[in-house]
Amino acid sequence: MKRRISVVAALAVATAVAFVPSATTAVGTDSSQLRAAVTVANVNTHLANFQQFGQASIPEFGHATRVDGSLGYTQSVYYVASQLRAAGYLVTVQDFIFDRFEETAPPIFQRTTPTTRTYVQDDDFATMDYSGSGDVTARLVPIGPIVIPSPGGSESGCAASDFNGFPAGTIALIQRGTCPFRQKAANAQAAGAAAVVIFNEGNVDPEDDRIGTVFGTLDPPQMTLPVIGTSFAVGQELYNLIQSGATVNVRVAVAAHVVRSESSNVLADTPTGRADRTVVVGAHLDSVDAGPGVNDNGSGTAAILEVAKQMAALRVQPTNRVRFAFWGAEEFGLLGAEHYLANLPKAELKNLMLNLNFDMVGSPNYVRFVYDGDGSATGTKGPSGSGNIERVFLDYFASQGLATEPTAFDGRSDYGPFIDRGIPAGGLFTGAEGIKSAAEAAVYGGTAGVAYDPCYHEACDTYPANVNSTVLDQMADAIADATLQFAMTTSSTSGTGKSSSSAQQSVGEFKGSLLRK
């Protein structure tokens, strides 16, 4: 259904609250009034509504979801747009079309020789998004270099030469690591593979699960051969059987296609503020198919929605225009943010001062992660100016006596297309499928050895069960503070004037919440 484009009246200017620099704050503008207005109770009200919107999809999908193309997503779009319209923002609903990957039957993965075993979907394996369809039973052939145990950085299947002598018609067993899944699968396909099995790498990574089932994507267009991801344990089992001299045959069956689907971005501008210094504050509005996506990413959406509403209620007169952006189709490859930027005239692209991104800020087993803008902790920096954004967040949390950890720009959220165009970026994150360490549990509480969000991309990502209101409250305040700092600043963010259509900093091959490599 085609969505309407709406433009609304300007924010009222009477009785405007003056936000001025304060010697008592860690950063330039006193945000205490805005932070007090942004309550976790109001943020949770938005989350409860997103839960209800997800449930509206049950008649069509058989379960609650706010995935693009669902009634739950449509209701989420109208809710956000109407809330912002009522607050007085200039609202645009930007529609776009994309190819949505959809499985038409449950996938099958079985070992047929030397002994039989049927693997369990999601627990042991999962279809990679944009896998091809097929039902193949054939010998499993490992593709080097496979290293068990892995120190990290496996290059298995990354080079075409890895497939020298590969028997056409067999199934490739490839270890995760280093290069994109699609590159591995494409090399296998070029060598004549009938299917591809990519197993998790097996090394310890503090932010990424390298042990459990790989839930990955190959990105569109859809491939012609079936491709699945497995846990490290399954891959190790199969590899060890082959190394022992056994002939291992497996069955891989996938039934899937792509569906032309509609989605929308919601863009809401303050009616005042310098248009040539636009601050984009973004969060993705969609969920995965499996559930209503209350933490991923109802939490980020609800937080920036409430910040926007309270800025309007306090009659904030920003020095720089603030654009609150609610992205569609993030889960299918950052498609909403990419569509927005790809269709922005070059002159307007240069007006984007920076991007603040908030994807998952209420994780149950949380850590307070701040994106490492200057690359000092992770070795992967954002475009010039990103370090200054990081510093604003770090200064704020320090002023509140709250610990933080750095997290890398890995391209798994909507800041990716901004970074690709040289636009400074930053944001907050409380963790997804990565496993909490004992050291982190000592600082933040929670449970070591368990995922930051055990319901990541699952049906159980619901309200209120899968949201930690303590960290959500803390993150909402940090979002309010940073948004206000950049809305009111008269200083230049280093690198702001250098935005362009070409990337200034490569941050890897991830293109969405689903793993790309």
- What CATH number is given to the structural domain containing 246? 3.50.30.30
Q: Do 318 and 368 share a structural domain?
A: yes
- Judge contact between 300 and 283, C-beta under 8 A: yes
Q: Please, which pLDDT band fits residue 209 given cuts at 50, 70 and 90?
A: confident
Residue 208: the pLDDT is 72
Lowest mean pLDDT among 48-62, 207-221, 365-379: 207-221
Amino acid symbol at 386: S
pLDDT at residue 503 tops 70: no
* Residue type, position 296, single letter: D
225 and 336 co-located in one domain = no
What average pLDDT does this structure show over 443-458? 96
pLDDT interval class at 411 (50, 70, 90):
confident
Flag whether 508 is in a domain: no
Q: Give the dihedral of Cα atoms 430, 435, 438, 443; nearest 10 deg.
A: 0
Q: For residue 237, is it within any domain?
A: yes
Pair (275, 252) in one structural domain: no
Domains contained in the chain, number: 2
Q: Are residues 315 and 362 in the same domain?
A: yes
Split at pLDDT 50, 70, 90, the class of 6 is very low
Q: What integer pLDDT is reported at residue 204 of this predicted model?
A: 80
Domain presence at residue 333: yes
- Give 337's pLDDT tier (boundaries 50, 70, 90): very high
Cα gap 192→131, rounded to integer Å: 16
**pLDDT tops 80 at residue 328:** yes
Q: Which 8-state DSSP code applies to residue 451?
A: B
The pLDDT value recorded for residue 415 is 97
The CATH number assigned to the domain holding 366 equals 3.40.630.10
Residue 173 has pLDDT above 50, yes or no: yes
What is the model's pLDDT at position 3? Answer: 26
Please say whether the beta carbons of 156 and 267 come within 8 A. no
Strand 249-269, strand 320-327: pairing: antiparallel
Q: How far apart are CA 21 and CA 279, in angstroms?
A: 19
In this structure, is residue 331 part of a structural domain?
yes
Looking at the structure, tell me whether residues 124 and 84 fall in a common domain. Answer: no
Counting every residue written for the chain, the total comes to 517
Query: In this structure, are 76 and 106 located in the same domain?
Result: no
pLDDT at 249 over 90: yes
Q: Is position 27 within any domain?
A: no
pLDDT at 410: 86
> Which residues, other chains included, contact 60 with Cβ-Cβ below 8 Å and sequence gap of 6+?
70, 71
**Is residue 368 domain-resident?**
yes
The span from the first CA to the last CA of the chain, in angstroms, equals 34
Full residue range of the structural domain in which residue 349 is found: 32-89+270-498
Residues 241 and 308 reside in one and the same domain: no
Active site residues: 330
Which H/E stretch holds residue 341? Answer: helix 335-342
- Which percentage of the chain shows pLDDT scores above 70? 90
Exposure string of 449-461, with b = 16+ CB inside 10 Å and e = fewer, is eebbbebbbbeeb
Q: Coil, strand or helix: which one is 265?
A: strand
Rounded-to-integer distance, Cα 17 and Cα 200, Å: 53
Query: At residue 10, does pLDDT exceed 80?
Result: no
Residues 370 and 448 in one domain: yes
Q: Is 9 part of any domain?
A: no
Helix (H) or strand (E) holding 355: strand 352-358
Over residues 247-268, mean pLDDT: 96
Looking at the structure, tell me whether residues 486 and 401 fall in a common domain.
yes
280 bridge partner residues = 323, 355
For the chain, give the mean pLDDT. 90
Q: How confident is the model at residue 424 (pLDDT cuts 50, 70, 90)?
A: very high
pLDDT of residue 28: 82
Q: Give tens-digit pLDDT for 346-401.
A: 999 999 999 999 999 999 999 999 999 999 999 999 999 999 999 999 999 999 99
Claim to verify: residue 112 and residue 183 sit in the same structural domain = yes
Place of tokens 């020298």: 164
| Confidence at residue 500, expressed as pLDDT on a 0 to 100 scale | 31
Cβ atoms within 10 Å of 15's Cβ, excluding its own: 7
pLDDT at 85 over 60: yes
Looking at residue 366, its pLDDT comes to: 98
Cα gap 269→506, rounded to integer Å: 29
186 shares its domain with 292: no
Q: 0.85 cut: is pTM over it?
A: no
Residue 49 pLDDT class (50, 70, 90 cuts): very high
Tell me whether residue 330 is in a domain: yes
Q: What is the DSSP string of 181-233?
A: HHHHHHHHHHTT-SEEEEE---S--SSS-SSS---BB--SSPPSS-EEEE-HH
CA-CA distance, 212 to 479, in Å (whole number)?
Answer: 32
* Confidence bin at 441 (pLDDT 50/70/90): very high
Average pLDDT over residues 310-320: 98
Q: How far apart are CA 112 and CA 104, in angstroms?
A: 24
> Are residues 247 and 276 both part of a single domain?
no
What the block records as the tokens of 471 is 């960290």
Tokens representing 338 are: 């990419």
CB of 85 closer than 8 Å to CB of 326: no
